[in-house]
């Protein structure tokens, strides 16, 4: 087994504030080669989603991405997508950047997930970003901050806040962490393929 999946969801807000999932993007990452393959990408209209989700804190996703309310309002519901999504979670171990946010939403919606470490938390002691609140512990890096640390300014990345695009970039961070020996998985990866990928 060499493959895992990296998941990114977009929402209208926090779970405990009544936020709704509006998009799910999933990519498959081969840990032997670094190959990233998009395998799921869909907008989601959850029950209860409405115009009020464009206002105040709920409206953040519509102000900070190219996603529109009209697109989400016309999207398929979560239930018609459930079986296909759960099949992916059954087949692969999964992770997400800021995993607790994404997976708390998905588990709240009834999905069972075999989860891996959170790349945001794994990257924290590596990026060593100072905590602006004066705590001794390092700040959790954003995706953009982790990207800059691992890939530098020459590949400037601005997070799109769209499920699939974010998942693809987050998978590159996961692979870099794996290459450096920091991202651990509970299965054996084909080391011969890893060696081949280095040449």
CA separation for the pair 123, 142 (Å, rounded): 10
Tell me what pLDDT residue 174 has: 98
For residue 110, is pLDDT > 50?
Answer: yes
For residue 49, is pLDDT > 90?
Answer: yes
**Per-residue pLDDT tens for 21-32?**
999 999 999 999
Tell me what pLDDT residue 186 has: 94
What's the number of CA atoms in the CB half-sphere (13 Å) around residue 155?
Answer: 12
Average pLDDT of the segment spanning 103-116: 98
Query: Which residues are within 8 A (CB) of 114 and not within 5 positions of it... i.e. 6 or more apart?
Result: 89, 92, 93, 94
CA 130 to chain centre: 23
Residue 69 backbone zone (phi > 0: left; psi -120 to 50: alpha; other: beta): alpha
- For residues 175 and 31, the answer to whether their CB atoms sit within 8 Å is yes
Helices 99-108, 119-127: axis angle to 10 degrees equals 170
Query: Which residues are within 8 A (CB) of 134 and not within 5 positions of it... i.e. 6 or more apart?
Result: none
CA separation for the pair 170, 97 (Å, rounded): 7
In this prediction the pTM is 0.93
For residue 138, is pLDDT > 80?
Answer: yes
Tell me what pLDDT residue 85 has: 98
Strands (E), the chain: 3-11, 21-30, 36-43, 94-95
Q: What is the mean pLDDT of the chain?
A: 93
Q: Under DSSP, is residue 176 helix (H, G, I), strand (E, B) or coil? A: helix
According to DSSP, residue 76 is labeled: P
Position with higher pLDDT, 87 vs 156: 87
* pLDDT bucket at 199, cuts 50 / 70 / 90: very low
Residue 63 buriedness (CB in 10 A; 0-12 / 13-18 / 19+): exposed
Tell me what pLDDT residue 195 has: 43
* pLDDT bucket at 152, cuts 50 / 70 / 90: confident
For residue 131, is pLDDT > 90?
Answer: no
Average pLDDT of the segment spanning 114-121: 98
Domains of the chain: 3-186 (3.30.420.10)
For residue 173, is pLDDT > 50?
Answer: yes
């Amino acid at each position: 087994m060499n493959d895992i999946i990296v998941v990114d969801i977009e929402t209208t807000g926090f779970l405990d504030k009544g936020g709704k999932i509006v998009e799910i993007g999933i990519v498959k990452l081969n840990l032997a080669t670094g190959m990233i393959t998009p395998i799921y990408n869909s907008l989601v209209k959850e029950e209860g989603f409405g115009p009020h989700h464009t206002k105040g804190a709920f409206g953040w996703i519509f102000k900070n991405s190219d996603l529109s309310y009209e697109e989400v309002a016309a999207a398929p519901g979560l239930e018609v997508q459930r079986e296909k999504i759960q099949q992916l979670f059954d087949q692969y171990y999964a992770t997400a950047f800021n995993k607790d946010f994404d997976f708390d939403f998905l588990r709240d919606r009834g999905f069972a997930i075999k989860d891996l470490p959170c790349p945001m938390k794994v990257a924290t002691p590596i990026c060593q970003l100072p905590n602006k609140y004066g705590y001794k512990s390092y700040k959790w890096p954003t995706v953009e901050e982790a990207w800059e640390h691992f890939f530098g300014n020459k590949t400037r990345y601005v997070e799109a806040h769209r499920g699939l695009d974010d998942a693809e970039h987050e998978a590159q961070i996961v692979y870099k962490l794996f290459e450096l020996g920091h991202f651990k998985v509970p299965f054996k990866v084909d080391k011969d393929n890893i060696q081949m990928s280095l040449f």
